[in-house]
Chain A
Amino acid sequence: MSIVSSSSTKMYGLVAEYAEPSDIMKAAKAIRHAGFTKMNAYTPFPVHGLDEAIGFKDHRLKWLVFACGLTGMLGGMGLQYYTSVIDYPWNVGGKPLFSWPAFIPVTFECTILLSAFGAVFGMLAMNKLPKPWQPIFSAKNFERATNDRFFLYIDQSDKIFDVKTTKDLLLSTGALEVSELVTTQEGY
């Protein structure tokens, strides 16, 4: 008898597999046209326009990077102002204490550093990574999603989701295969 009883498995949604970027593009448009909203696509490389096709928009990252860069710039200049003018005024060759042109390089480097942190860590955080295992990894054939196959996923929580009709719809869009994404609650 297995420890994991069938009652603890969970159906997440349907996964359709495609062979070409153009196929999944057409399919995504069709599915969206049919009124589905909770969907996602998985591809081995970025397929341009597919994000729009599934109705995904997110401009937060750019603004986050901008904010980080601004913080870096003000912080860098502020640090130098505080240390060279307020906390440790030191006369070097009669130069003014706030000799700002000499502070530009460090300000610049701080701007770049913080923007880069914003871009990388912001991207990871918004993508909810690192997260080494996710339910989608249980999908059939999914190890090819990073190689040569394109997957379209429809979540079962979608208002118009129905296992049978949705499956038929996906098959009609030219999917090679449509399977249910089922995992046990325990994962793995």
Chain B
Amino acid sequence: MATKYQLEDKFIEGQQSYDKITQDVTELSLQNKNHGNRWFMFIGMGFLGANLLIISIAYLLYQGIGIWGNNQPVNWGFDIINFVWWIGIGHAGTLISAILLLVRQKWRNSINRFAESMTLFAVMCAGLYPLLHTGRPWVDYWMFPYPNILGMWPQFRSPLIWDVFAISTYFTVSLLFWFIGLIPDLATMRDRATKKGVKRLLGILALGWNGSVKHWHRYEVAYVILAGLSTPLVLSVHSIISLDFAVSIVPGWNVTIFPPYFVAGAVFAGFAMVLTFMLPIRSWYNMKHLITMKHLDWMAKIMLATGLIVFYGYIMEIFYASYSGNLYELFLKDNRLTGPYAWAYYSLILCNGLVPQVLWSPKIRQSVPALFIVSTFISIGMWLERFVIIPVSLHRDYLPSSWGMYTPTIWDFGMFLGTIGFFVMMMFLFLRFIPIINI
């Protein structure tokens, strides 16, 4: 029976029926023919990257963290840079889902699943770093408070133990949020699947969802509450990460602006990463009517706004240092601007401060290639920001006799490329097997 209704959702273009949308979205997961060589190319690249990650971790476990470039005085290097970078990327996913749901922005429906999945995989990549950086990851469970024969407990006054709680809670809540968002869609796929095995598997995963209003009622309550919990959770997670720095006395770290500045940076980086991934996928899978120019325009505006907050953070950092009259803070500022890592600072200002300003122009916000380029710049810029904050502050702090330089080793790069590969692999697996847009 032909069903043709004009949907109320003004963010979805064209004459769409409920059935048409269901079909468009589920077909990607239920049928193979929509995924061509490109899918295999990317999953292949991701798979190679994931192998590189496994090799890097295996050698790290065998040899110890001496294979990384961090040592005194720069004892936080790629591990913490990448940890903060990945977790920042993850934050956009939660914010897109949660905040946009709370403020009843209908346009969220087209991007939230994608963004939430990105969160999950990004947090997995992020979590690896501190876990491995402990040096003896097989005893990482020591970080959790449990009664033990040593009679010791974790030190709850340390921001690093706050991190343990923040990241593990964040991952768990993101997983629950993602999964309960998925339940009704899994049910739709269950009812459309034709192969018996697939149907049975989806039947188990959908938990027996039947669309009853009673179910929907409680579901919506739970979903809104989760969104309400996730929003402060995201803010707390990145604030706590920034406290890892701000609570210390290292010049350039001990500033009160860190929590809001880190949170804005996370949203900025996350939206850029969503766009970098989504733009190609949108055109390859013909999703232009579901992820419309309006969505892209909104996302670009959010990037512009958070980018300005981040840029304000950079200006404040210079102001703080100059106004403090503190010798070490003043030196840090000069060292950033003219020291051996000045190239990183100026590239950062270019990528995060100057390039995003083109988003003021509606023409750029409406151009897919331009958005892709700008968001790639921002992803690189946000990585550089963490580089400027971490090694550049550490390599020359109080005692000139203990100054040094930081040079990442091949294993640092191996691990970084490896996590990117793992992320790409997971995203393309997600694209193949799970409805990427809320049905």
Contacts and interface: CB of A to CB of B under 8 A. Distances in A.
B282 to A, nearest CB: 23
Contacts of A143: 191-192
A63 to B, nearest CB: 11
Nearest to B159: A105
Contact of A50 (B166, B177, B210, B213): B213
B196 interface: no
A134 B173 CA distance: 29
B213 A41 contact: yes
A170 B151 CA distance: 69
Residue among B19, B187, B229 with the highest chain A CB neighbour number at 10 A: B229
Given A87-B153, A113-B169, A120 B210 contact: no
B214 A105 contact: no
Interface string B144-162: 0100000111111101011
Contacts of B216: 43, 45-47, 51
B208 A131 contact: yes
Interface residues of B, number: 60
A91 B348 CA distance: 41
A90 B173 contact: no
B188 interface: yes
A120 B222 contact: yes
A143 B211 CA distance: 11
Nearest to A115: B229
A120 B176 contact: yes
Contact of A134 (B19, B177, B208, B217): B208
Interface in A162-178: none
Nearest to A101: B157
B155 A126 contact: no
A69 B157 CA distance: 22
Contacts of A51: 213-214, 216-217
A154 interface: no
Given A62-B225, A106-B161, A126 B169 contact: no
Residue among B3, B188, B221 with the highest chain A CB neighbour number at 10 A: B221
Contacts of A148: 3, 17-19, 22
Contacts of A130: 204, 207-208
Nearest to A146: B188
A84 B158 CA distance: 12
The prevalent SS among residues of A at the interface is helix
A74 to B, nearest CB: 15
A127 B192 CA distance: 23
A1 interface: no
Contacts of A109: 162, 165-166, 169, 233, 236
A4 interface: no
Contacts of A73: none
B18 A80 contact: no
A92 interface: yes
A95 interface: yes
Interface string B197-232: 000000110111111111111111110011001001
Contacts of B307: none
Nearest to B221: A61
A56 B208 contact: no
A84 B156 contact: yes
Contacts of A102: 156-157
5 contacts: A40-B213, A87-B153, A88-B153, A105-B236, A109-B169
Given A62-B225, A84-B153, A110-B165, 10 more contacts: A41-B212, A51-B216, A56-B217, A61-B221, A122-B222, A127-B215, A145-B210, A146-B184, A146-B190, A148-B19
